[in-house]
Amino acid sequence: MNTTMPKVNLYEKYCKDKEHATDVKKYALMIFEALYQNAEEYKNLSSKSVQYLEQAALLHDIGYAVEKKSHHKHTMNIIINEGIDGFSREDAAIIANIARYHRGSFPDINKHEIFAQLPQQDRELVTKLGAILRLADGLDKPHKNLILRMQAKETEDTLELGLKTIGFKPNLKMAEEKKDLLEFTLQKQVKFVFI
């Protein structure tokens, strides 16, 4: 996977916890790869999807520069208003929405105007990638970079996400809370196992 830093200075200008942002990016890409290989719902995603996810992961918390409580919404607004060099306005809108759904409510065309303005295909992509980012953020809540790799195994009713750690088992409380959008997207229960 070819990974790059945001070309515009949003990351440098606004990101207050760069270690967390890079760890969330790492976990998001691990989850993406595991799902791409083993979950039917994710097999049709393109390499452009990886770029969107990567940018959203690095920028997901930049809204803290405005306010903590609604930082996910402020993140979306900053990205949309300032744009990202190397990405079109349409691409930036997708990235902004992915970052927005790393916490808070699920994407909703009836309540979220900016999300509703996206074409149907982009809304589906935002939901899938937002689910990954949300879970990646939850997996990094101990802020200790304990996970080395992941693998996914899909059955009719569940998605088992195997976590290989450095030897210590992370507290998965936040990951358990933030797997909700992925479960909604897959219409399956997500279970964590250590491998």
| CATH number of the domain within which 82 lies | 1.10.3210.10
Residue 4 confidence (pLDDT): 52
The reported pTM is 0.93
The answer to whether residue 188 is domain-embedded is no
> Is 14 inside any structural domain?
yes
In a domain, 181, yes or no: no
Which tokens in the block code for residue 188?
A: 């399956």
Domain of residue 71: give its range.
10-143
Residue 161 lies in a domain: no
Does residue 5 fall inside a structural domain?
A: no
Say if CB 131 and CB 124 are below 8 A apart: no
Q: Is residue 95 part of a domain?
A: yes
Q: How many domains does the chain have?
A: 1
Cβ-proximal residues to 141 (8 Å cutoff; 6+ apart), any chain: 171, 173, 174, 175
Whether 178 maps to a domain, the answer reads no
Residue 141 is classified by DSSP as T
Picking from 82-86, 87-91, 97-101, 172-176, which range would have the lowest pLDDT averaged per residue? Answer: 82-86
Q: Express each pLDDT in 119-143 by its tens digit.
A: 999 999 999 999 999 999 999 986 7
Q: Do the domain assignments include residue 166? A: no
Q: What would the pLDDT profile of 89-115 be if each residue is shown by its tens digit?
A: 999 999 999 999 999 999 999 999 999
